[in-house]
């Protein structure tokens, strides 16, 4: 076995070396051919080298996967992150549970994106294409360097091991099979908008093909990164056993921060197309997601911020600090020194226009981003200034980001019926009066039923108004059908086919409002209580009655789990058992002092009954915590709608008005 591992280690290193050499060549080719006359030849050579980089990384990833699956414990990475006791899919999850593995996936994902971008056939690919491809290859090189020389996944152990440590117990969950790779893929995908924008900055020109490409890749990044964050929230809700899905932990903040400039860019790009405005702004926004992704990676790897998510803390933090400085300063300096603000041709006739709405929403998103960034960095700043780390908890973010998000939702709703250039006041009032009245009625109805808190009520109004106005706009498009749609099905689909960019966006907005309903109701109107009970005891929370039956336990004999044990609690309605909950704890051989919660949830569209056990003693006296979380399922439904909306928007065959310049 060690001989095979040795061969695999050498092969893995060689594959990485091939990618490294190819990326160096590709970068040199890009730099040296800046003044070459035959750019097309250079581009073809770069395309070939990119294929080589991709193959090298694909081979090393396959070798690492094979090593993990076949328990090659002569490799240090396999020993530290895998175990022969784990099922094959959890073994595969080991690929990204450690630093070297996750860096390899990052690099592979960037190379995949580079490969796809390099195959884009555009009429003027040469100058911008070369720049973007060279920048992307440089990024790959920057990731390959630590992979090859500082933190290789193919490093051999100094002695023979027969078993590995296994996965971090918290990661032994099916969601972990898709959440981390999705998030890594999303973070890596931000390198493409970065490279395209920086390419434009270097060439000091814009180009219709690359602008379209920028929009498409921004949407792709937004889609993947959002999905990664939603899956993370789902994992937190179903695994961590605290009843929440978002803790405003610094690492979580780092994962959503790149989403903000991505969303801003999507909303300010049309302003550039319509007004000729925000050219430099958009280039900055194109670069920022990747800078923030590197910032997040640096945070996680450096241990700079204290987080419950710091699984991959390591000593290559300073390297990422350098990379962060390069990615941040390069576009900043080039923009400051090298680009002039383009002369604009205004076509702004009225404040009551879509342009105004988009400007307001863009800057609201900026405010939200800055507040999150400030709260995330404040513990570090306080430690540097005072020597004492001041932790910023969820309450700060709830008090600051919550109201800003509510205002954003309200403006989002008010913007939907606005048209470009000038909206007639009479038409606008006509369009909003019914949804706004209905939203006010719903809010009053909510007050009558007991809703309280100004921000909560404003948020309920914002969500209702947002859902209604966007739904009305979609209905209006369906009923205004000008085509030859024959069936009702075609009529409904026609607006999405005709203008997927707009109506996909509306669906995404409805999704956000529905998500907000789930968030507001499950946090502001949640009920929870702890009960210390003996077998046979009954207890109640609100209208729900429960009975504690006793303890249970089992030995799954897989995935390194030593024992699973917990309590059996029944939900009783009209003297009948309607649901049996079996919450408990999962104990691992490798980490006996780090049990993981087993949560049991009774789910419905109206509420979730969330049950978990905090502990028990020898007399079977247990401490059980029950949470009633109203409408929390709408958070996931909203997330699905949002993703669906982004997908519809992505299907657009862009008819951009941007002119070649």
Partner 1 sequence: MKTKIFNSTLLFTLIMSISLSAATTATAQTPESSIEIQALAIENQLRCPVCVNQGLTTCALALCNDIKNSIRTQLAEGRSPDNILLFFEESYGTQIRSGLAPRGFNLWLWSWTVASVIIPTTAIFLIINRLRSGTN
Q: Of 597-626, which residues contact partner 1 (CB under 8 A)?
A: 597, 606-607, 614-615, 623
Which residue, 219 or 519, has its beta carbon nearer to partner 1? 519
Which residue, 329 or 441, has its beta carbon nearer to partner 1? 441
CB 113 within 8 Å of CB 192 = yes
In angstroms, the Cα distances linking 210 to 123, 190, 299 are 10, 15, 32
- Binning the chain into helix, strand and coil, the percentages to the nearest 5 are 65, 10, 25
CB 67 within 8 Å of CB 61 = no
Closest contact distance (angstroms) between CB of 594 and partner 1 is 13
Q: Of 472-501, which residues contact partner 1 (CB under 8 A)?
A: 472, 474-475, 478-479, 481, 488, 491-492
Q: Of 280-319, which residues contact partner 1 (CB under 8 A)?
A: 306-308
Write the DSSP symbol of residue 169: G
Query: Greatest CA span in the chain, whole angstroms?
Result: 85
- DSSP count for the chain of H helices, then E strands: 20, 10
Residue from the set 208, 451, 515, 519 that interacts with partner 1 by CB under 8 A:
451
Q: Of 33-72, which residues contact partner 1 (CB under 8 A)?
A: none
Which residue, 111 or 310, has its beta carbon nearer to partner 1? 310
Run of H or E including 658: none
Stretch that binds partner 1, among 212-220, 412-420, 440-448, 575-583 (CB under 8 A): 440-448
601-606: long-range contacts at Cβ-Cβ below 8 A with a sequence spacing of 24 or more? 601/238, 602/571, 603/633, 604/633, 605/631, 605/633, 605/634, 606/630, 606/631
Closest contact distance (angstroms) between CB of 291 and partner 1 is 18
Residue with tokens 């890749």: 217
Closest contact distance (angstroms) between CB of 609 and partner 1 is 11
By rule CB under 8 A, what count of residues binds partner 1? 90
Residue from the set 71, 80, 209, 249 that interacts with partner 1 by CB under 8 A:
249
3-state secondary structure of 611: strand
Residue from the set 20, 172, 198, 464 that interacts with partner 1 by CB under 8 A:
464
Give the chain's radius of gyration (CA, Å).
27
Structure tokens at 79: 């020993």
Q: Of 366-385, which residues contact partner 1 (CB under 8 A)?
A: 366-367, 370-371, 374-375, 378, 381-382, 385
Stretch that binds partner 1, among 26-34, 241-249, 295-303, 317-325 (CB under 8 A): 241-249
Q: Of 518-577, which residues contact partner 1 (CB under 8 A)?
A: 520-521, 524-525, 527-530, 541-543
Write the DSSP symbol of residue 162: S
Stretch that binds partner 1, among 82-90, 216-224, 226-234, 399-407 (CB under 8 A): 399-407
243 lies in the site for partner 1, by CB under 8 A: yes
Residue from the set 113, 500, 504, 630 that interacts with partner 1 by CB under 8 A:
630
Which residue, 209 or 355, has its beta carbon nearer to partner 1? 355
E strands present in 353-427: none
E strands present in 438-535: 527-533
Residue with tokens 């247990």: 622
Whats the size of the chain, residue-wise? 661
360 lies in the site for partner 1, by CB under 8 A: yes
Which residue, 36 or 370, has its beta carbon nearer to partner 1? 370
């Amino acid at each position: 076995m060690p001989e095979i591992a040795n061969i695999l280690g050498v092969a893995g290193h060689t594959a990485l070396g091939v990618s490294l050499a190819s990326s160096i060549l590709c970068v040199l080719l890009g730099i040296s051919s800046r003044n070459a006359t035959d750019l097309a030849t250079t581009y073809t050579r770069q395309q070939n080298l990119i294929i080589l980089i991709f193959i090298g990384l694909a081979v090393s990833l396959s070798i690492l996967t094979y090593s993990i699956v076949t328990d090659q414990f002569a490799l240090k990475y396999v020993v530290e992150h895998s175990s022969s006791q784990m099922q094959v899919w959890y073994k595969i999850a080991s690929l990204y549970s450690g630093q070297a593995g996750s860096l390899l996936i990052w690099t592979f994902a960037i190379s995949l994106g580079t490969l796809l971008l390099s195959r884009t056939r555009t009429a003027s690919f040469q100058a911008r294409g070369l720049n973007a491809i060279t920048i992307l290859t440089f990024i790959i090189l920057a990731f390959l360097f630590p992979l090859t020389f500082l933190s290789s996944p193919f490093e051999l152990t100094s002695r023979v091991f027969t078993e590995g440590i296994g996965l971090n117990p918290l990661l032994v969950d099916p969601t972990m099979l898709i959440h981390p790779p999705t998030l890594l893929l999303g973070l890596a995908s931000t390198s493409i908008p970065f490279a395209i924008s920086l390419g434009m900055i270097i060439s000091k020109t814009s180009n219709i093909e690359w602008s379209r490409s920028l929009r498409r890749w921004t949407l792709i990044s937004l889609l993947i990164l959002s999905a990664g964050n939603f899956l993370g929230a789902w994992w937190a809700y179903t695994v961590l056993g605290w009843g929440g899905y978002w803790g405003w932990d610094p690492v979580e903040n780092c994962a959503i921060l790149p989403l903000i400039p991505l969303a801003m860019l999507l909303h300010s790009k049309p302003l550039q197309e319509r007004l000729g405005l925000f050219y430099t702004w958009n280039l900055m926004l194109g670069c920022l997601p990747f800078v923030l992704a590197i910032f997040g990676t640096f945070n996680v790897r450096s241990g700079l911020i204290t987080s419950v998510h710091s699984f991959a803390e390591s000593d290559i933090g300073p390297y990422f600090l350098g990379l962060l400085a390069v990615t941040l300063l390069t576009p900043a300096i080039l923009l400051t020194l090298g680009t002039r603000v383009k002369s604009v041709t205004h076509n702004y006739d009225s404040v009551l226009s879509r342009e105004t709405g988009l400007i307001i929403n863009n800057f609201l998103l900026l405010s939200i981003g800055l507040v999150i960034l400030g709260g995330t960095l404040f513990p570090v700043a306080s430690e540097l200034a005072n020597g004492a780390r001041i932790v910023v908890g969820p309450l700060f973010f709830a008090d600051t980001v919550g109201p800003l998000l509510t205002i954003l939702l309200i403006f989002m709703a008010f913007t939907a019926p606005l048209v470009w250039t000038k909206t007639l006041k009479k038409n606008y009032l006509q369009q909003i009066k019914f949804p706004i009245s209905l939203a006010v009625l719903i809010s009053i109805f909510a007050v009558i039923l007991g809703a309280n808190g100004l921000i909560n009520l404003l948020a309920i109004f914002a969500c209702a108004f947002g859902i209604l106005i966007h739904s009305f706009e979609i209905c209006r498009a369906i009923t205004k059908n000008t085509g030859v749609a024959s069936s009702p099905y075609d009529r409904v689909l026609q607006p999405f086919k005709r203008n997927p960019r707009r109506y996909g966006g509306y669906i995404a907005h409805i999704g956000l409002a529905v998500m907000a309903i789930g968030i507001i109701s499950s946090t502001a109107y949640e009920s929870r209580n702890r009960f210390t009970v003996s077998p046979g005891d009954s207890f109640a929370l609100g209208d729900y009655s429960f009975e504690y039956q006793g303890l249970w336990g089992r030995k799954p004999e897989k995935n390194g789990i030593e024992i699973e044990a917990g309590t059996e609690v029944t939900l009783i309605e009209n003297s009948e058992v309607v649901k049996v909950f079996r919450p408990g704890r999962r104990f691992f051989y490798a980490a006996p002092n780090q049990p993981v919660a087993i949560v049991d949830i009774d789910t419905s569209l109206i509420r979730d009954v969330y049950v978990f056990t905090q502990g028990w003693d020898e007399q079977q006296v247990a401490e059980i915590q029950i949470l009633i979380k109203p409408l929390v399922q709408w958070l996931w439904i909203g997330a699905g709608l949002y993703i669906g909306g982004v997908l519809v928007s992505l299907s657009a065959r862009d008819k951009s008005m941007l002119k070649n310049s």
